[in-house]
Amino acid sequence: MGQGRIYLTFPVCLINNALTDIRKTTDNIMNYCGYVNAMKAAGTIEARMAAAGRYCGLTWGNWQKVYESGKLLFELIPAHSPMTSINKDIIFDFYKNDKSEFEIVCFLAFAALRSIIQTKPYCKITNGFLLARMAGLRSSKDITRIPDAIKKYDNRYQLDKIKKELQNAWGLKLYARYTRGFYVSFKMNKYEDLVYEVEKRRKSNIEKLRKETQHQAISRANDRLFPTAP
């Protein structure tokens, strides 16, 4: 948690129907987090749910309903599902207020990126991996399961539009100059820090390739100079 901010951590698969019903999706997220955090507390179920509400910064209208819904979701979600973490205020904003489809798509992309980056300062991803996680899927290997509602954003124009919005309004730093895929970060304070790390890595890889090429050339030259006897 950042100072003054509360983050809700949940399986990214919970966003899989967000374009159909974002209010239900965010309700499920809050119910899941309520139940999970209640299980970490002590006392009666009511006391646990009260503690979970304080921890999550949420007020339950009907704590029994939240508990039962969260419990069902928890039991249905496969073990070791990829997790994401989003500021509670963002989730509640999408729960309470009407949002355009593009705003919801950006929410999905944000959740997807957070689930991929996790605690790393930055990482490299592909468009296929991004789209898969936006659909709540585990990896780009599941790309055939991406629903049409997400698949229609699988083109350069739409993806560039989403990436620009995330950079302008969601705190994303993105670098994709002469790279296969693109590098992203939410943690780095300066954009130049991300560029520096990517270019440093590129220089390191180039030097590694140069040394390997040199080693192979020397090996082949030695084979010519000192051929193995038949």
- Phi/psi region, residue 80 (left: phi>0; alpha: psi -120 to 50; beta: rest), is left
Integer Cα distance of 72 and 80 in angstroms: 17
| Local confidence pLDDT in tens for the 230 residues of the chain | 344 689 999 999 999 999 999 999 999 999 999 999 999 999 999 999 999 999 999 999 999 999 999 999 999 999 899 999 999 999 999 999 999 999 999 999 999 999 999 999 999 999 999 999 999 998 878 778 899 999 999 999 999 999 999 999 999 999 998 788 999 999 998 999 998 888 887 765 666 666 677 777 777 777 776 787 55
Beta strands in 108-228 (DSSP E): 123-125, 173-175, 182-185
> What global pTM score does this model have?
0.84
